């Protein structure tokens, strides 16, 4: 299987006054196509920074990040925006839907920035809504939906452009148990149909759903466990 993500020697350094702080301090990571990865770690571990870099919202200070074989660490803001648009789908903890747009319009928004025509946009958006079984809520505003439904709309938006990676940042953090179950069910279904999913969470229960669990601590990957193989790569 081809590597979707190839990260080598990535560091993210911040200047705090005269001191330099490393949010990421030498990370190497390979993610294959179709993998379902849970990214774990306590707050302040560098897990969010890693996710931002993986999601092309941020660039590494040092090191190389190849996404689908393309080096992206040196790209401009606009080039990164185009990659986020076509190659990456985001799901956030607090849904981040635009409150004044209907579900369908929210889902169609990435296609707007891709420059697609109205017909094509709406059919892509409707297909994505069907995948999360919300086609009957297409004309509802986010305010008229439950938390679980809103997150399903957000997932539909993330998968509408058929991205290479689906990134979910604590997608069930604001949901009750029942909705959490529904959302995780959707992720498992997407995984079965071949999507590459990176799930950021600090809840071990949620991480169980993934095939592979990666633990980040103090800016480094300290553990990388794949389910099904008893092999535990304990790095530190």
Partner 1 sequence: MLFTELLKMAWRSLGANKLRTFLTMLGVIIGVTSVIALVSVGMGVKKNILDNISRLGSNMLIVMPGSANRGGMRGAAGSVITLTYDDAEAIKNKIKNVSHVSPTVQGSYQVVYGHENWNTTVTGVIPEYVAIQSLELKSGLFFSEHDVDVRNRVAVIGPTVAANLFESVNPVGKKIRIGNAPYTIIGVLNSKGQSSGGQDQDDIVLIPLTTAQERLVGVTYVRSINVQVSEADKMDEVQSNIEKLLRQRHRIRTGAEDDFNVRNLTSLMEMMNSSTTMITLLLGAIAGISLIVGGVGIMNITLASVTERTREIGIRKAIGATYSNIMLQFLIESTMISVIGGIIGIGIGVVAAQAISKFGNFTTVISGLSIAASFGFALFVGIFFGMLPARKAARLDPIEALRYE
Binding-site ranges for partner 1 (CB under 8 A): 52, 55, 57-58, 77-78, 81-82, 84-86, 90, 92, 96-98, 100, 109-110, 112-117, 157
Could you tell me the smallest distance in angstroms from the CB atom of residue 88 to partner 1? 9
Residue nearer to partner 1 on the CB measure, 13 or 116: 116
Smallest gap, in angstroms, from Cβ of residue 100 to partner 1?
Answer: 6
Min CB(181)–partner 1 separation in Å: 26
Q: Is 219 exposed, middle or buried (0-12, 13-18, 19+ CB in 10 A)?
A: buried
Q: Which residues of 95-116 are buried (b: 16+ CB within 10 A; e: fewer)?
A: bebeeeebbbbbbbbbbeeeeb
Could you tell me the smallest distance in angstroms from the CB atom of residue 204 to partner 1? 25
Please report the sign of the dihedral spanned by the C-alpha atoms of residue 51, residue 57, residue 63, residue 66: positive
Q: How far is the C-alpha of 209 from the C-alpha of 227, rounded, in Å?
A: 10
DSSP bridge pairs for 12: 24
Task: Output 97 or 183, the one with its CB closest to partner 1.
Answer: 97
- CB of residue 96 to partner 1, shortest distance in Å: 5
What is the rounded CA–CA span in Å between residue 125 and residue 139? Answer: 12
Q: Provide the minimum distance between the beta carbon of 62 and partner 1 in the complex, in angstroms, as a whole number.
A: 19
Give the tokens for residue 25. Answer: 């301090």
CB 87 within 8 A of CB 67: yes
- Closer by beta carbon to partner 1, 126 or else 141: 141
Closer to partner 1 by Cβ: residue 90 or 187 = 90
In this complex, which beta carbon is closest to partner 1, that of residue 59 or of residue 137? 59
Q: Are 5 and 165 in contact (CB under 8 A)?
A: yes
Count how many Cα atoms sit within 13 Å of the Cα of residue 104 in the half-sphere of its side chain. 16
Of 118 and 146, CB closest to partner 1: 118
């Amino acid at each position: 299987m081809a590597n979707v993500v190839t990260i080598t020697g990535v560091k993210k350094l911040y200047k705090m006054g005269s001191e330099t702080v490393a949010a990421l301090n030498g990370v190497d990571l390979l993610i294959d196509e179709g993998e379902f990865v849970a990214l774990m770690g306590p707050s302040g571990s560098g897990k969010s920074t890693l996710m931002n870099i993986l999601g092309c919202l941020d660039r590494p200070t040092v090191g190389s990040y190849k996404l689908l074989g393309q080096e992206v660490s040196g790209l401009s803001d606009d080039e990164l925006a185009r990659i986020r648009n076509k190659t990456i789908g985001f799901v956030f903890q607090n849904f981040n839907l635009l409150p004044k747009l209907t579900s369908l319009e929210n889902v169609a928004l990435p296609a707007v920035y891709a420059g697609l025509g109205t017909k094509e946009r709406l059919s892509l958006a409707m297909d994505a809504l069907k995948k999360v079984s919300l086609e009957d809520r297409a004309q509802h505003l986010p305010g008229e939906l439950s938390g679980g439904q809103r997150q399903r709309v957000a997932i539909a938006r993330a998968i509408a452009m058929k991205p290479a990676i689906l990134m979910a940042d604590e997608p069930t953090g604001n949901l009750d148990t029942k909705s959490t179950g529904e959302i995780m069910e959707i992720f498992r279904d997407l995984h079965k149909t071949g999507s590459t999913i990176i799930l950021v969470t600090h809840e071990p229960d949620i991480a169980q759903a993934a095939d592979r669990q990666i633990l980040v601590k103090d800016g480094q990957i300290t553990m990388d466990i794949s389910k099904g193989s008893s092999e535990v790569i304990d790095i530190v």
